[in-house]
Amino acid sequence: MADQIVAARGRSKIPKVTATRRPWAISAQLQAAPLALVFIVFFVIPLGIIVLVSFLDYNDYAILPTLTTRSYTETFEGCIDQLPDVCTILKTYATTAQFCFAVWLLTLIIGFTISYFLAFHIRSTTTQIVLGLLCTIPFWTSNVIRMISWIPLLGRNGLINQILMGAHIISTPIEWLLFSDFSVMLAFVHLFTFFMVVPILNSMLRIDRSLLEAAFDAGASGWQTLWHIVVPLTKPGIVIGSIFVVTIVMGDFITFGVMGGQQIASAGKIIETRLNALQFPPAAANAVILLAVTLVVISLLTRLVDIRKEL
């Protein structure tokens, strides 16, 4: 009897399972299509054109339709011969990196402090929202106007020098307040600290308050709680804010020019100078080099934490 049952099962047809396309998968692709199209048209294609132009030859008045690496070789021309000294282009990138690090450190300290105050010392959600919106008020005006507003304060005959001289604290005006490294970093911190505040605050608001209470119950001090609980859980926000600040400072040339009095070199200024001279292939080559350096920095930052969990 058992053999007959097995034989009957063997003769029965086993239905074939066919892979069916899930309707919501098609819907998701259609929803992502407009954004993907915008990304391709306004980012991928222009970036491809810049890379292509960087490999074209040129003369004093025209771009030549000939592929060459001249723009890249001329950018670093003489760097090997000057070793162990650093050539001008590398000095410029080193100066830009120093500004990036200084601005990143200052914005991180200020942004973390503001975010910590809003997240853990302001109990009312309404008050948190109001204070957060107050931080956005400077963005209602142009960055250039916000930079220029520092000149009447920091200039040789500016308000700060007049107050200090009127109080007999100094006898001569302070020269380094304006058109110096100090004024450039001050403008950067003023302009871009908010880019550090928002992601850090977002991460801090997600922290479970019971973790802090458990740490205090276990006898942890305020600094121990901050270092072992708040900072690790805030790493995604720190990395996102760092990416914003570093990428903006790396490519900036307006702030360097306005607040530095056109006296401080930067990677962005190199590109601007090439464009003003109508040397588009060298400008494109420097843009590609700057993009590569920025991508390396971003990849190093993203290795610290998986920011996809934050997004």
Instruction: Write the pLDDT tens digit of every residue in 211-262.
Output: 888 888 888 888 888 898 999 989 989 999 999 999 999 988 889 988 988 8
Encode the chain in three state secondary structure.
CHHHHHHHHHHCCCCCCCCCCCHHHHHHHHHHHHHHHHHHHHHHHHHHHHHHHHCEEECCCCEEEEECCHHHHHHCCCCCCCCCCCCHHHHHHHHHHHHHHHHHHHHHHHHHHHHHHHHHCCCCHHHHHHHHHHCCHHHHCCHHHHHHCCHHHHCCCCHHHHHHHHCCCCCCCCCCCCCCHHHHHHHHHHHHCHHHHHHHHHHHHCCCHHHHHHHHHCCCCHHHHHHHHHHHHHHHHHHHHHHHHHHHHHHCCHHHHHHCCCCCCCHHHHHHHHHHCCCHHHHHHHHHHHHHHHHHHHHHHHCCCCHHHCC
pLDDT tens digits for range 275-296: 888 889 999 999 999 999 889 9
d(CA 261, CA 271): 17
User: Is 126 among the domain residues?
Assistant: yes
**pLDDT higher than 50, residue 12:** no
Q: How would residue 5 be classed by pLDDT, with cut points 50, 70 and 90?
A: very low
Domain count, the chain: 1
pLDDT tens digits for range 147-199: 888 988 998 888 899 999 988 888 888 888 989 899 999 999 999 999 999 89
Q: What pLDDT score was predicted for residue 24? A: 56
pLDDT tens digits for range 60-105: 778 888 899 888 888 877 666 655 555 778 888 888 999 999 999 9
User: Is 177 among the domain residues?
Assistant: yes
User: Is 260 among the domain residues?
Assistant: yes
User: Is 90 among the domain residues?
Assistant: yes
User: Is 303 among the domain residues?
Assistant: yes
Tell me which residue range forms the domain holding 190. 86-309
- Percentage, residues of the chain above pLDDT 70: 87
Domain containing residue 210: CATH number: 1.10.3720.10
User: Is 153 among the domain residues?
Assistant: yes
- Percentage, residues of the chain above pLDDT 90: 30
Q: What pLDDT score was predicted for residue 127? A: 86
User: Is 30 among the domain residues?
Assistant: no
User: Is 66 among the domain residues?
Assistant: no
